[in-house]
A and B are shown apart, each in its own frame.
Chain A
C-alpha cells in the first residue's frame, strides 16, 4: 500500500527530506507531500550581509519559489497548516484562493515530518512590541533591509548588539554581525565616532570555549567592548536603555537586538510542544516524543544543537533514511538513520576571514585560526547553496 508521507515546512530541512524521499522511493511506495504556508524557500544566512551592502537589496532577493527546488514527484501544497491531529493522523490546512476565498482541507498522513521552524516572538521580551521603532534586527528580510537604511543614515554614536531571548537561530550570528559592523564602520570612516558594545548571555563571548578564546582577543583588538552574562529582560525604548535579567542597564543610540524566538504557531495551536512551542524530540531517531508517526527536524525541535540550517540539513538526511526504511518495512540502519548531533558551519570574523565549526554530540569543535580560505568557502557556499543543498545532493 502506498504510504502517505507529509512534510510541513519548505525550509532547508523539509525540502531536503521531500526531495530525498521522492528520489529514493517509487510513487507506488510513497506519496510525498510538502505543505508550505507561502511556497517560497528563503536562504536566511544571506540576511547577515544585507545591512552592510552598498547597493539597495530587494526583500525577496534571497528567496526562490519552492516549486523550483522540488523533485517532480513531490506534491506541493501551498497553505497554512493550522492544526495537527495526532490521534486521527490528519492535518487541517487553510488555503486562500486567488479570488480571496478561504478553503479548509484535511490531509491524512501515515508519517508526518514537522519542519516548521522558528518564528520571531518580540512579545516575549518586555517593551519590544511597544518600542518597535527603538531597535533593529537582521533576523528577517524586512529587518535587515531596515537596518541597512538605518546604518546608511548613521553618523556615529553608541551601537549595542544584544540577544533578546534564548534560544535564537544561528548562535554565531550576533558575533559575526559585530565583526562585520566594525569592518563596515572603518570602511565608512565612522569607526572613530562610534562605540560598539557586544552583550552576550554567557560568561564568554561565544558558547564554545575555543571559539570564544579566538574571538575575544579579536573583539578587543578591534575596540569592541564586551559585557557578559547579559540576558536581556526589558527594552525601554523611550530612554534608549536595554535592561538585563541580571539587573544591568545599558544605554544605546542604535540597538541591534536579536528578537526572542518561538516554535511554529501550529505546534502551539495543536498543543504538541513545550511552553515556547519547541517539539520534544528524540536526539537520535528524531521522533517526536509521545506522538507516534510524527518526526521533527531543524529549528522546530528542542534538541540541544544550534538552531541552524546546518543542523536541519544533517537531520533531514537522517530522517529521510529512517522514513525510507520504515516505508519498506526494514529496520533503520543506525549508521544513516540516527542523528549524532552533527553540525558544520562557518563563523565570519570580518576583514575577509572566517573560521569553521564542525562538531557532534561526542566531539567538540576545534576551530582553526580564522583565514581567508574559510571566508571564501562560506562565500562559495552562499552561492552554491541553491544548486546543491535543497536538492539533497550534499
Chain B
C-alpha cells in the first residue's frame, strides 16, 4: 500500500482550516487550471471532505487516486480525466 509521500501531485493545495469556500471549492478551482492527465492534491481538515470530494470527482468524471490520512488532515489526490 502506498503512503501519501509516495504519491506525487503536480499541484498541491493546502485547504486545512478552510470552511468558506471550503476544500472542495479549492479542489474544483485547482482542477480547472490543470491539464487533462494532471494530478492534484488537496489537504483538508474538514471531515465532510471524505464524502464531498469523492462524490464530486465521480460526478465530474475525474479519478480519485487516494485519500491519505496525515497528522492533522487528509490528503486527497486526484487525476483530471477530461
Contacts and interface: CB of A to CB of B under 8 A. Distances in A.
Contact of B33 (A275, A361, A362): A275
Q: Which interface residue of B18, B26, B51 has the most chain A CB atoms within 10 A?
A: B18
A283 B21 CA distance: 15
Nearest to A364: B19
Given A305-B18, A362-B17, A364-B19, A202 B25 contact: yes
Nearest to B24: A202
B16 A361 contact: yes
A246 interface: yes
Interface in A291-313: 304-306
A306 B21 contact: yes
B52 interface: yes
B20 interface: yes
B22 A357 contact: no
A171 interface: yes
Contacts of A231: 28, 60
B21 A229 contact: no
A201 interface: yes
A171 B20 contact: yes
Interface residues of A, number: 31
Interface in A351-390: 357, 359-362, 364-365
Contact of B19 (A165, A207, A275): A207
Contact of B22 (A207, A245, A360): A207
A359 B18 CA distance: 9
Interface in A245-259: 245-246
Nearest to B82: A245
Contacts of B25: 166-167, 171, 201-202, 207
A279 interface: no
Contact of A304 (B23, B52, B61): B23
Contacts of B61: 246
Nearest to A247: B61
A343 interface: yes
Interface in B1-37: 13-26, 28-29, 32-33
Interface in B32-71: 32-33, 48, 51-52, 55-56, 59-61
A130 interface: no
A172 B26 CA distance: 16
B20 A365 contact: yes
Contacts of B24: 202-203, 207
A304 B60 contact: no
A-B pairs with lowest CB-CB distance, top 6: A361-B17, A304-B18, A207-B22, A304-B15, A166-B29, A275-B33
Interface of A: 165-167, 171-172, 201-203, 207-209, 229, 231, 245-246, 274-276, 283, 304-306, 341, 343, 357, 359-362, 364-365
29 contacts: A165-B32, A166-B25, A166-B29, A166-B32, A167-B21, A167-B29, A201-B28, A202-B22, A202-B24, A202-B25, A202-B56, A203-B51, A203-B55, A203-B56, A207-B20, A207-B22, A207-B25, A245-B60, A246-B60, A283-B14, A283-B17, A304-B18, A304-B21, A304-B23, A341-B17, A341-B18, A343-B20, A359-B20, A360-B17
